[in-house]
């Protein structure tokens, strides 16, 4: 089938789109929409992370769990919201740590596309969610797909910095070849856990140190 995804990713992931589990994802989403369910993000933005960060540009991966499930928030990038939408609590805490780490003042926007365009893949493990029902699409096949994304990055690239925040993200560590990539772990930036190891992790400066050691351009984290 012809999946609308950025060309470099289409080449890397082409075998996945014909697999039974991916057909199930498509069938499931069509049935949800036919029954009147509201799905986030909107269809054209489901693969936005891949559009914003082509395969050859990936230098950093920030792994989220689920898209935001309230109206107007999800646009296909983990932790990010479109311009004009108030940052949710986890993103507020990310900005607090950014200021603590690099002295960057809280930005006027929660839109992280600038990070994505520099090579930060903002990947949610599930790429869709039902309105107001967190985790509602976590068992429809997306985890198999995004696990494969992580494995492909691990196999075919070198020196990626993976930021694994919280228990769920850290369970993906086994998919990453740490002889050729870097893994930084911390608590999730959620208000429930940020004080238990996210604040003070300094992952933004540490990421840039690791990139510069490889003669890669560091990320400009200022939005």
| Residues acting as catalytic residues | 66
User: Cα–Cα distance between 14 and 3 in angstroms, integer?
Assistant: 9
Q: Which residue has the tokens 């499931």?
A: 28
31 neighbors 92 (Cβ within 8 angstroms) = no
What's the helix, strand, coil split of the chain in %, to 5?
40, 10, 50
Per the DSSP assignment, residues forming a β-bridge with 127 are none
What distance in Å separates the CA atoms of residue 218 and residue 207, rounded to the nearest whole number? 8
Q: How far apart are the first and last CA of the chain?
A: 37
- Burial level of 124, CB count in 10 A (0-12/13-18/19+)? buried
């Amino acid at each position: 089938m012809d999946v609308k995804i950025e060309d470099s990713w289409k080449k890397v992931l082409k075998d996945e789109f014909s697999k039974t589990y991916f057909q199930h994802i498509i069938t499931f989403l069509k049935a949800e929409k036919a029954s009147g369910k509201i799905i986030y993000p909107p269809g054209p933005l489901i693969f936005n992370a891949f559009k914003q960060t082509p395969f050859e540009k990936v230098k950093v991966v920030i792994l989220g769990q689920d898209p935001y499930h309230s109206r107007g928030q999800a646009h296909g990038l983990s932790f990010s919201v479109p311009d004009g939408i108030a940052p949710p609590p986890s993103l507020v805490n990310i900005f607090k740590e950014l200021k603590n780490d690099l002295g960057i003042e809280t930005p006027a926007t929660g839109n992280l596309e600038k990070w994505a365009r520099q090579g930060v893949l903002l990947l949610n493990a599930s790429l869709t969610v039902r309105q107001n029902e967190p985790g509602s699409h976590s068992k429809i096949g997306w985890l198999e797909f995004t696990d494969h994304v992580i494995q492909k990055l691990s196999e075919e690239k070198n020196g990626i910095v993976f930021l694994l925040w919280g228990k769920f993200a850290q369970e993906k560590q086994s998919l990453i070849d740490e002889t050729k990539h870097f893994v930084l772990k911390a608590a999730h930036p959620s208000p429930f856990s940020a004080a238990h190891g996210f604040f003070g992790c300094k992952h933004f400066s540490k990421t840039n140190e690791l990139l510069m050691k490889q003669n890669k351009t560091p990320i400009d984290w200022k939005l």
